[in-house]
Structures are given as structure tokens and as C-alpha cells.
Amino acid sequence: MKHFIGLGQLSPDLLAWLWTQRKMVPADAITLAHQAWSAWCAPSQAALFTFAQREHAALPYLSRSLRRLLQELPGINDVLSLTERLSLNCIAQSGPSVSEIYSEN
């Protein structure tokens, strides 16, 4: 499959094959997931930020994923998430101006 997005793309036969390939989740990965959840639920984002700065062998993509997730929090300078900031940059570079949008309505 060239561009895999999710399990919903897979045929029943391929899903059945995947089921036979399943593996147990190691205890250290479960412990790490609990720690990540505790950091996520903490009253401040500081715990999650600290947790995301360390690499975790049991879940190698966890730190990078959490750092990307943290980029969706409101920014200090502009109160925008990364997605909002990128969207506005795209619109500013190639989209219509705000006055053009309102003049069409």
C-alpha cells in the first residue's frame, strides 16, 4: 500500500492476516504508557514537556509524538497552535485576502 492512513483502508483478508501477526505489549511499554498518561493528566503541561524531552526505548515514537502534540498548545507569542500558524501562513502566501472573502458575501 503506497499511502497507508489507517486500518479502515485494509481488506478483511489483510486484517485477518494482521491479527495473526499480533504481539504482546511488553510490561515496560505499559509502564511507560501509564507514566505518559499521568503526565498528560497533570494540572500543568510542564510534566508532559519534561517527559517528552527524554527518549524511551520501550516506545520509540512516544517522545517525538508528544513533542508534536505540545506544539498544538497555544503559543506564548501569538496564542496560536502550530496548525493554526501554518494555516495562516499558507493563506497569507496564496489565499484570498480577508477583504476579498467578505466582499463576496
Read off the pLDDT of residues 34-43 as tens digits, 9 standing for 90 and up: 999 999 999 9
State residue 98's pLDDT score: 64
Quote the pTM value: 0.69
Residue 16 in any domain: the answer is no
Residue 49 in any domain: the answer is yes
Residue 18 in any domain: the answer is no
| Cell triple for 65 | 509524538
Residue 19 in any domain: the answer is no
DSSP string, the chain: --S---GGGS-HHHHHHHHHT--PPPHHHHHHHHHHHHHHHSSSTHHHHHHHHS--TTSTTHHHHHHHHHTTSPPTTT---HHHHHHHHHHHHHS--HHHHHHH-
Residue 52 in any domain: the answer is yes
State residue 90's pLDDT score: 84
Residue 93 in any domain: the answer is yes
Give the model's confidence band at 92: pLDDT under 50 very low, under 70 low, under 90 confident, else very high: confident
Q: Please tell me the total count of domains within the chain.
A: 1
| Cell triple for 26 | 511488553
Residue 8 in any domain: the answer is no
Task: State the residue for C-alpha cell 486484517.
Answer: 15
Residue 5 in any domain: the answer is no
CA neighbor of 63 nearest in space, from 41, 23, 32: 32
* Residue 90 belongs to domain spanning: 26-104
